[in-house]
Structure 1
Amino acid sequence: MEQRCSFSLVCFFLFLIPPATVTPAEATPFIDLINSTCTQCAQSSAVFNYDFCVTSLQPIPITHAANLEGIAVVAVELALQNATATVSTIQEMLAGAAAFDPFAVGCLRDCLELYADAIVMLVDSFWEFFTRRFSTANILLSAVMETASTCEEGFKEKEVEMAAAPPLTEENENLFRLSEIALCITKLVSGGEEVMRKFS
């Protein structure tokens, strides 16, 4: 199933690229690019999840990301989709706050603010990447990863007071990992440009 464009980030990116017809022969290099990219990222970090990287990126239609920069844009889009969906999830949880103890409700409210900030940072990181300000994009993506960790840690501060396991563990983990993918690819793109400048 094709990924939809929330906030039109990918749609905007694709608008700048002439449409292309993709042949089956072209699909293999694209899959190889994803595998090699995820491998490089996994080799650079002990916590990077190669399998999550591959399964997240492979469903992307090839016409949406035919090169490393395109994959970076879509990685940000996937993180943005996750953050946006999680905001809706938290709002639904707060609407049924009676199902949670007061401590959990407080954590959910904190996480709602954190995720709202994450959405803004992800949108900003896209524009920083698009305008080649990679260092700022890296800072923003790192901050989004920290946002996911902060939300999760908030529930664990007084875990004994909670009636159940933290309700956003999966969402937090997904946002952390998707942002980590975007961060790694952004570093690969910026590193490649630096190499090109040295040999130009």
Structure 2
Amino acid sequence: MKFCSPLVVILLLVLFVSLPHFNNASVLSDACSKAAANDIKINRDFCLTSLQVDPKSASANLTDLFHISINLSITNTTRAISHIRYLLSNSAYAHLKDDLSFCQDQYTEAIGCLYGAIKQVRLSSNDDHTNVNWIITEAMTAMDDCEDESSNKSILSKERGNAFQLCAMALNFLNNFRKL
């Protein structure tokens, strides 16, 4: 009777250990594809690239992807506030002081909403995320209000676009929890 060569055994072992990773990579890819198909504000490549920044995304389910996207949105929104503070301290942007101050308030409100969404999702059941949806939508509205009120629409468009898209992804994942 012949035994399998050590190389074959190692190859099978590597394949066996790798299968969950490939399956979860598929979960991530499927989740981003579905999110992009469900919402024109979500770009599939942005979704994948953003979520892959977090090593936990490789083994994530929709609940995990929700938390990752919310945390990334908080990070992006915090960066936007830092950028606003920089612009407020720069005399070249003195003519935008009122707009920037308004945006700083709006982004600060958005961060509060996003932290509130994380807290609320822990308190609610998988079947009822109405309050969480509303809270995340409030954060997105605050970001939109900044954009709508600003006389220089391009000054924060990248920050707003990234944080807004991450929020849209979180909403999509949240609304699909019950389908797990």
Scaled by the length of structure 2, what TM-score is found?
0.81
Please report how far the alpha carbon of residue 89 of structure 1 lies from its aligned counterpart in structure 2 after TM superposition. Answer: 1.3
Correspondence for 1:176: 164
- The equivalent residue for 1:192 is 179
Distance 1:30 1:153 in 2: 39
SS at match of 1:125: helix
**Contact 2:25 2:59 survives alignment (8 Å):** no
Deviation at residue 65 of structure 1 after TM alignment? 5.4
Partner of 1:15: none
Q: Is the 2:72–2:166 Cα contact (8 Å) retained in structure 1? A: yes
SS, match of residue 130 in structure 2: helix
Match of residue 122 from structure 2 = 130
Pick one of 40, 61, 70 that aligns with 2:34: 40
- Post-superposition Cα deviations, 1:72-93, rounded to whole Å, max 9, x if no partner, equal 1111100011111111111111
Contact 1:30 1:62 in 2 (8 A): no
Aligned partner of 2:51 in structure 1 is 57
Superposition RMSD in Å: 1.9
Q: Size of the alignment, in residue pairs?
A: 161
Identity over the aligned pairs, expressed in percent?
A: 24
Give yes or no for contact 2:25–2:58 (8 Å, CA) kept in 1.
Answer: no
Query: Aligned-pair distance for 1:51?
Result: 1.5
> 1:99 maps to what in 2?
92
Correspondence for 1:198: none
Q: Distance in 2 between matches of 1:106 and 1:93?
A: 12
Structure label with greater radius of gyration: 2
C-alpha distance in 1, partners of 2:85/2:46? 27
CA distance in structure 1 between the partners assigned to 2:34 and 2:131 by the alignment = 22
Q: Matches of 1:83 and 1:48 in 2, distance apart?
A: 17
Q: Distance in 2 between matches of 1:65 and 1:111?
A: 36
Give 3-state SS (helix, strand or coil) of 2:41's partner: coil
With over 3 angstroms needed to count, the CA separation of the structure-2 counterparts of 1:120 and 1:56, relative to structure 1, is same
Which aligned pairs between 1:6-21 and structure 2 lie closer than 5 A? Answer: none
- The equivalences for 1:145-156 within 5 A come to 145-155=140-150
Moved over 4 A (4+): none
Where do 5+ consecutive residues of structure 1 fail to align? 1-22, 160-164, 194-200
For residues 40 and 148 of structure 1, the distance between their equivalents in structure 2, rounded to whole angstroms, comes to: 24
Q: Which moved more, 1:177-186 or 1:56-65?
A: 56-65
**Residues 106 and 57 of structure 1, relative CA distance in 2, 3 Å threshold:** same
Q: Quote the Cα distance in structure 2 between the aligned partners of 1:67 and 1:94.
A: 40
Query: Which has the bigger relative contact order, CA under 8 A and spacing at least 6?
Result: 2
In the other structure, the counterpart of 2:138 is: 143
